Amino acid sequence: MLRPVRFAALSVLSVLVLAGNLCQAQAQDRTQDRRVPSSQAELRLSYAPIVQRVQPAVVNVYAAKTVQNRNPLLDDPIFRRFFGVPGQQPEQMQRSLGSGVMVDSTGLVVTNNHVIEGADQVKVSLADKREYEAEIVLKDSRTDLAVLRLKNTNKEKFTTLDFANSDELLVGDVVLAIGNPFGVGQTVTHGIVSALARTQVGITDYQFFIQTDAAINPGNSGGALVDMTGRLAGINTAIFSRSGGSQGIGFAIPANMVRVVVASAKSGGKAVKRPWLGARLQAVTPEIAETLGLKLPTGALVANVAPNSPAAKAGLKLSDLIVSIDGQTIDDPNAFDYRFATRPLGGTADIEVQRSGKPVKLAVPLETAPDTNRDEIVLTARSPFQGAKVANISPALADELHLDAGAEGVVVTDLADDGTAANVGFQKGDIILAVNNQKIARTGDLEKASKTGTRIWRITLVRGGQQINVTLGG
């Protein structure tokens, strides 16, 4: 009776010994690529070699514009006459500070559009403290990017950064942010890629940002986000902050989008040329996904297709669900907009759609949107439209303002802050259909209608796809 028990005990002991030997062997396998540093030099890990290589290509950008101090009381002629205050108000210089990246050895710098927006003067300071006047070569508000060119460089060659392929970034990759936070001077911070393809940031038209926890603060805008190969992964653009300082949530424009804007500037263009789809897309909600029989609410649903557009030529149809472009998965319309906008002009993009539950592959031509006969004017006559800039809708303008593909008529493209149009509530993107029962087909029609001098204005417009009737005056 005792033997079986003794035999069993020995068996358990043998198993434990074998298990111990196995664990030890596995531990040795895991530590084969690890070892105790054998010298102090091996403990000295540093990003310094990368920083020394890329720092000369990161610059500080100083922009200034002249504005007039505006006191509302000075608009009253009685107040001015009584107090003897002159009507001309003193000027003041407003300054902004940002960063930039040298992307061409001849002196081409990319920065954020909001850094130099409205500037009368732009200066660029290099890492070695040299300063240059700069001219604005190209501004692209849709991406919040701008390209500058240094003046009077005497044909000097400058250090530049090469572009990384931002599509190869992975969450967890180490990155460095270089810029001029709070104007203290060029500063380097480090962190990781916290997330990719952030689409709910609300900064630019193309919502597809790199998120990082590298410290980014005011003044870093336009600076470099650099990967561990020393290449430009993105342009630091914005932070999420309740205090105004870094809270570990920063956003950068991916290098692949920056590359498109820089290429347009190098080609001599005053505007960025990018492909046009000619279709309006909408997000897939859980309710839509259930209706379509989808497991997940992903993809971009086609809501409208303009006649004779690239989408129409490719055979894209209403209710098609776009799921990929050139093999890259599409999660939502913002992802598609970014992917499509970064494709080079010419050739085609291969798009896969789900149509009635079946996969269909389409080849969409990569061509620019027609942009003819805008006839953009500013309305100055005394009317509800005074101070509004309006234009005839072209396919390019419809794409720019996110209007329905194929929209026609006259659209508000800008509003003067002190104009009547802004005060009565007109908005950028409003399409004016009729004024006092007169159809508005061209900007000339609206200009003529604004000069009629009537006391009552009956206006029909479209805003956000909805027709609105407004009566002003009386």
d(CA 247, CA 244): 9
Annotated binding site: 114, 144, 219-221
Would 26 be classed as within a structural domain? no
Residue 473 has pLDDT above 80, yes or no: no
From 273, 299, 330, the end of a domain falls on 273
Q: What count of Cα atoms within 13 Å lies in the side-chain half-sphere of residue 293?
A: 5
From 273, 296, 330, the end of a domain falls on 273
Which sign, positive or negative, has the C-alpha torsion 434, 435, 437, 438? negative
Q: Are residues 324 and 267 in the same domain?
A: no
If you write DSSP's letter for every residue of 446-471 in order, what string do you get?
A: HHHHHTS--SEEEEEEEETTEEEEEE
The whole-number pLDDT of residue 5 equals 30
Q: And the tokens for 322?
A: 């776009």
Query: pLDDT tens across 54-95, in order?
Result: 999 999 999 887 655 555 555 555 555 555 555 555 565 567
Which helix (H) or strand (E) element contains residue 334?
helix 333-341
Low-confidence winner among 123-132, 245-254, 294-303 (lowest mean pLDDT): 245-254
Residue with the larger pLDDT of the pair 352 and 117:
352
Q: Which of 125, 221, 383, 450 is catalytic?
A: 221
114 annotated active-site: yes
**What CATH number is given to the structural domain containing 138?**
2.40.10.120
Q: Are residues 312 and 206 in the same domain?
A: no
Q: Are residues 257 and 141 in the same domain?
A: yes
Would 264 be classed as within a structural domain? yes
144 annotated active-site: yes
Q: Are residues 110 and 92 in the same domain?
A: yes
Its domain, for residue 318, covers 279-365
14 annotated active-site: no
Q: What percent of the chain has pLDDT over 90?
A: 40
Annotated binding site for substrate: 114, 144, 219-221
Q: How many helices (H) and strands (E) does the chain have?
A: 11, 25
Q: Which of 99, 114, 246, 383 is catalytic?
A: 114
pTM for this predicted structure:
0.74
Would 35 be classed as within a structural domain? no
Residues in Cβ contact with 100 at an 8 Å cutoff, skipping those fewer than 6 apart: 58, 59, 60, 61, 109, 110, 111, 115, 124, 148, 222, 223
Structural domains counted in the chain:
3
Residues in Cβ contact with 88 at an 8 Å cutoff, skipping those fewer than 6 apart: none
Q: Are residues 218 and 284 in the same domain?
A: no
Q: Are residues 297 and 253 in the same domain?
A: no
**What CATH number is given to the structural domain containing 313?**
2.30.42.10
Q: Are residues 233 and 161 in the same domain?
A: yes
Q: Are residues 385 and 413 in the same domain?
A: yes
Residue 36 has pLDDT above 90, yes or no: no
Q: Which of 96, 125, 140, 144 is catalytic?
A: 144
Query: pLDDT tens across 301-340, in order?
Result: 999 898 889 999 999 999 999 999 999 999 889 889 889 9
Q: How confident is the model at residue 433 (pLDDT cuts 50, 70, 90)?
A: very high
Residue 249 has pLDDT above 50, yes or no: yes
